[in-house]
Amino acid sequence: MAKRRSHARVLIYSHDTMGLGHLRRCRAIAHSLVEDNKDLSVLILSGSPIIGSFDFRTRVDFVRIPGVIKLRNGEYTPLNLHLDIDETLGLRASIIRHTAESFDPDLFLVDKEPLGLRGEVKSTLTMLKARGTPLILGLRDVMDEPALLAPEWERKNVLPALRNLYDEIWVYGLPQICDPLAGINVPASTRRKIRYTGYLRRSIGSVPPSATANMSVRPTDQPYILVTTGGGGDGEGLIDWVLRAYEHDDNLPHHAFIVLGPFMQPERQAEFLQRCARLPKVEAITFNAHMEVLMGRADGVVAMGGYNTFCEILSFDKRAIIVPRTAPRMEQYMRAARARDLGLVNMLVDDGGRDPRVMASALRRLPEQRAPSEANMEALLDGFSQVNRLIGRWLTKPAAAAGISLVGRQA
């Protein structure tokens, strides 16, 4: 007997350990989906410890699974619970599967990790595949250099999942900028599943009006350059370099507004805030959930160049200096180098010396850089429209072809 539903359901998995990138991308996609489709609800599975700090639109909600963090030696450990890591991962896997069984999605979108953290999503994928639920893997534009990604995916046994479980692979970028699977021996049948969407456009209009009206921290009334580290867990070098520039040259023309990031070590946050307090042209905060607003008001940007920040730089057409990290992944460096070559941004490489004159010179030249729009790249920011089109195509497929229907599923 078929059960009838008036609303379609999309389940999104984000494996987040620390950092904001995956959560912010999944949240942006969810908001775009419900804005485009009034008969759609989205549930996000996330391990982010600060997911509750963000606003969510009507018909978007989240299930917080127990958090884990990755240690410097590469091992994982529970964030809060006094359990060993295997118990925690087992609990996460159980919550994920139970949520999927109960929510009964019409489409399951997995962000970045094909099998989830240490394979925690595999049983859920298998269960939903048997139900006929479309399974989609969403990838950012750059994963890592092939020499590191290939053995990692071989160790995780990823390619069989791409071949046998997933129906499509969506890349939130453009092939002329980056191919996330370049250098990976991916079968032609799997490559045929890839759909490039373009980058995900951000806007101040996507932020709830109540949030912009009541922002607890506002930047200086002076024109300012926004300095952002994303989550901040690995952003100490960028902040230090910018502060050295302002300490070296008190005649820099622009104010700097720095967002340290919520995952920066508290002692380093305190140190940086003390240094900022001594600089009349520098202000700093730890965290703001509405970076779109700060980005939109800025005259320029200095950033590490993670995926979401890159999308915001393109969306608001901001002249930018990218200082990418090079460990543990080369992802940011690869994206920034290609974007520099295409005339979208400027790039500085942190060699550890952090000469203040180099950063000061780049900051002075920032207003004269070309804006990203001057590169004239077609379909650069079509990501949301393409994602909505792709999801709409799956949700309207007949049950015989896709195993789902907007109005029912075999009970």
Q: For residue 230, give the nearest of 2, 5, 10, 21 by alpha carbon.
A: 21
Q: What is the mean pLDDT of the chain?
A: 89
Contact 262, 286 (CB under 8 A): yes
Cα–Cα separations (whole angstroms), residue 367 to 252, 363, 376: 12, 8, 19
Is the per-residue pLDDT at 402 higher than 60? Answer: no
Domain range summary for the chain, segments of one domain joined by +:
2-201+381-410, 210-375
CATH class of 210-375: alpha beta
DSSP one-letter code for 348: -
Domains 2-201+381-410 and 210-375 share a fold: yes
Does the predicted model carry a pTM greater than 0.85? yes
Q: How far is CA 187 from CA 55, 59, 146, 162, in A?
A: 40, 38, 16, 10
Q: For residue 227, which of 172, 187, 160, 283 has the smallest C-alpha distance?
A: 283
State the pLDDT at residue 82. Answer: 82
CA dist., res. 205 & res. 366, Å (int) = 26
pLDDT, tens digit, for every residue of 16-53? 766 678 899 999 999 999 999 999 999 999 988 888 88
For the structural domain made of 2-201+381-410, what CATH number should be given? 3.40.50.2000
Question: For 258-293, how does the pLDDT look when each residue is reduced to its tens digit (9 = 90+)?
Answer: 999 988 999 999 999 999 999 999 999 998 888 888
> Distance (Å, rounded) from C-alpha 357 to C-alpha 241?
10
Segment 163-217, tens digit of pLDDT: 999 999 999 999 999 999 998 999 999 999 999 999 999 987 655 554 444 444 4
